[in-house]
Amino acid sequence: MGYYCSDGMNFTSNSTYQSNLKLLLSTLRSSATHGSSDKFSDGFYNATAGQDPDKVYGLFLCRGDVSRETCQDCVNFAISELSKFCPVQKIAVIWYQECLLHYSNYSFLSTVDTSAVVLVPKPQDSPNRSFDGGVSNLMNEALSRALRTPKMFGTAKKDYSDSPTLYGLAQCTQDLSPDQCRSCLGEAISKLAGCCSIRQGGQVLYPSCITRYELSQFYNDTLIASPTPAPPSPGSERSSKEKKAINQQELYTREGRTGDDSYDILGGETHGDSHQELPIFPLSLALEATRHFSDENKLGEGGFGSVYKGILAGGKEIAVKRLSGSSGQGLQEFKNEVTLIAKLQHKNLVRLLGCCLDGNELLLIYEYMPNKSLDVFLFDSTRRAQLDWKRRISIINGIARGLLYLHEDSRLKVIHRDLKPSNVLLDHEMNPKISDFGMARIFGGNQNESNTSKVVGTYGYMAPEYALEGIISLKSDVFSFGVLLLEIISGKKNSGFYLSEHGQSLLTYTWKLWCKGEALELMDPVLKQSCVAAELLKFIHIGLLCVQEDPADRPNMSSVAVMLASDTVPLPQPSQPAFSAGRSIARSGQSSSSDSKICSVNEVTLSDVSPR
């Protein structure tokens, strides 16, 4: 039916990762065939193989109405076929009518994964337009039933007097909590309504959940368990505060799972589905993991607190952000991160594992990034050599994918507001993950712009309309991305140029080189042996488009992603970028001939591109 292979994340033949993957697939095959393990439950099994950094995570899920024999056949077929479709990719998912198979080099277990999606609309339009609203009602009923069965599998049907009956199905992987399942299926149902509600059927397939509806019954009633009665209202069976604390082993094995031992710590105003809960770390566990926040464990210092490395009893490494509980800003950042990032799941966003609120102690617990942040490498005279051209392209593309998810593909429309190298973390394979959502702003569905009297962020990365007028939009992040892109290419800080011998910003310097046909002079010297000149020019071009003074002239992130991936898409000519006259900038009503200057890319010829 459909499959997904990761782009640019491959393993090599005879590598440790390949050996671990073979072991994992063998384990999954055996579990589907014999089903003797305690971990096999109703057509679902998850497993891991190997150790970091070559550890492989995987699972299979069979549809809740199929027999064990059908499940076995589907899983075996999926394993053999996926090795053909994704022979060297580290992340792969394949969906069939009766099962799905998923493996990855990062831990997706007990998290909502919607990073890949397959849409399967029927080609024929429905004979009854009233299906449009009926599909959502049908699927929400299936969702409700799925949350009340051990298999997290539910079906529903809707009868019409003058039209065929509608049949629907909803199912989650069984490692998810009910709240996570509701979140995943809710997103899938929204997509189903968008792509398929006027068709005679359709499917939306995510790695963590699946939805489907048809005009004829496609599931087996006889193998479907009846759902349990609806659960009591939240909080009616809450235990004492001591029981809310999660012990070390639970945290190590469950990581992102939520359940009865977690609770809403925020209260007050929330955004939509913000009661999705996080595991609560007891303060004693954080103290033990970080050696009482010792200086030796400190990873860095932020505007509202410090970050420490921690090690749990089972050896799991974590990062603990300790915010100032006595600071209103620290409390606001804590609330922002807990209500926001818990609902965001993407491979290019850092993952929040839990939190702690104990007196004045405000702690956020994240997955640990062994390579710290991008600035540690990019602006270090020795370490920057580890970032060759291929690696820098991968980092730029990863940041773009993460930002695109925030702006357009997540359930929320999120403006980060503080995108910069120190907020881009790097995992053990140097894959980028956007972090620090304490200043992020959520927009409503049709909202494109907002004003604020309190400007937060980092000068040098702020869009001019935001820094000077407090105007926030998605294009604010696009500007920050453009600055970051040019910094990655040049290895130079935008802010550092104000005090340099050039007496100008990195944006000014880039523009002057571009207009003189010398844009390749921007290249970090360590890239001379690995850089492809044509690619470099394209990336500089895209960077200049992102830092245009007028937000309307900047591309959105979906356009940026297309431009980064294609060598044939024509790029519009950039005008003089914002802040190109130093610290000041002409605003509306203050134009000059230089402000509207356009330098054609044709002035940059490839005859001058040989490495110096």
Separation between Cα atoms, residue 585 and residue 566, nearest integer Å: 33
d(CA 589, CA 511): 23
**Residue pair 191/203 in contact by the 8 Å Cβ criterion:** no
Residue pair 176/184 in contact by the 8 Å Cβ criterion: yes
- DSSP strands (E only) in 312-464: 317-324, 352-358, 361-367, 413-415, 424-426, 432-434, 441-443, 449-451
Q: One of 175, 179, 418, 427 is an active-site residue; which one?
A: 418
Six token digits for residue 475: 């294009």
- DSSP for 266-305, please give it: --S---TTTT---PBPPHHHHHHHTTTT-GGGEEEE-SSE
User: Running DSSP on this structure, what letter comes out for residue 522?
Assistant: G
- Specify the pairing of strand 413-415 against strand 441-443: antiparallel
User: Which runs of E-coded beta strand occur in 359-454?
Assistant: 361-367, 413-415, 424-426, 432-434, 441-443, 449-451
Supply the Cα-derived Rg of the chain in whole angstroms: 26
Distance CA 423, CA 419 (A): 6
Peptide bond between residue 207 and the one before it cis (omega within 30 degrees of 0) = no
Instruction: For residues 58 and 92, give the distance between their C-alpha atoms in angstroms, rounded to a whole number.
Output: 10
Residue 409 appears among annotated catalytic residues: no
Q: In the structure encoding, which two tokens stand for residue 334, read together?
A: 């804590």
Is residue 84 part of an annotated ligand binding site? Answer: no
How far, in Å, are 395, 419, 537, 544, 546 from residue 519 at the CA level? 21, 24, 7, 11, 16
- The answer to whether 171 and 61 are in contact (CB under 8 A) is yes
Question: Where does 225-270 have alpha helices with state H?
Answer: 241-244, 248-254
Beta bridge partners of 413: 443
Could you tell me if 139 and 213 are in contact, meaning their C-beta atoms sit under 8 angstroms apart? Answer: yes
CA–CA dist 37, 254 (Å, integer): 19
Residue with the two structure tokens 């009518």:
97
Residue 318 contacts residue 367 (beta carbons within 8 Å): yes
Element (H, E) at 471: strand 471-473
Residue type present at position 233? S
Non-local CB neighbours of 407 within 8 Å, separated by 6+ positions: 413, 414, 415, 474, 477, 556, 557, 558
User: What single-letter DSSP state applies at residue 203?
Assistant: E
d(CA 476, CA 461): 9
Known binding site: residues? 321
Q: Hey, which residues are catalytic here?
A: 418
Residues tagged in the binding site annotation for ATP: 321
